[in-house]
């Protein structure tokens, strides 16, 4: 399957279980992998046969910055669901949300949630 990947998107959101996370907010990194057929786009060189990744960026931005989630699992799920609903040519989507600075008194490279969702077949 062909794939379009948007990686390293950075947004500021107020997600987390702790009240200070909801109040102060923090940076989140998001990657999405969109599996869809790209052969027609490759042959025609027409945007209508693929996904406009600028639109995808703004959809993800709106979800990450638009409301507060306690869990980045829920944030990831909503991103995947919206992308599958918006673009009928996406067959499968993987969403990776990275919380680079979780509120723990230890040093590590953050917490990542990765989900994979497929379009339901009739």
**Residues catalogued as catalytic:** 99
Three-state SS for 53? helix
Contact 112, 29 (CB under 8 A): no
Cβ neighbours around 20 below 10 Å, total: 10
Cα 42 to Cα 49: distance, rounded to the nearest angstrom: 9
Q: Which of 6, 113, 116 is nearest to 59 (CA)?
A: 6
Question: Rounded to the nearest 5°, which phi and psi values hold at 113?
Answer: -115, 130
* Contact indicator for 84, 90 with CB cutoff of 8 Å: yes
């Amino acid at each position: 399957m062909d794939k379009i990947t948007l990686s390293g998107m950075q947004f500021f959101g107020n997600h987390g279980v702790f009240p200070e996370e909801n109040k102060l907010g923090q940076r989140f990194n998001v990657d999405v992998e969109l599996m869809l057929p790209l052969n027609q786009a490759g042959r025609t060189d027409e945007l209508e046969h693929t996904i406009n990744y600028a639109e995808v960026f703004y959809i993800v931005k709106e979800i990450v910055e638009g409301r507060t989630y306690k869990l980045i699992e829920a944030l990831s799920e909503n991103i995947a669901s919206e992308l599958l609903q918006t673009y009928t040519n996406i067959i499968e989507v993987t969403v990776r949300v990275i919380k680079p600075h979780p509120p723990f008194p230890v040093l590590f490279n953050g917490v990542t949630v990765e989900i994979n969702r497929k379009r339901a077949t009739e």
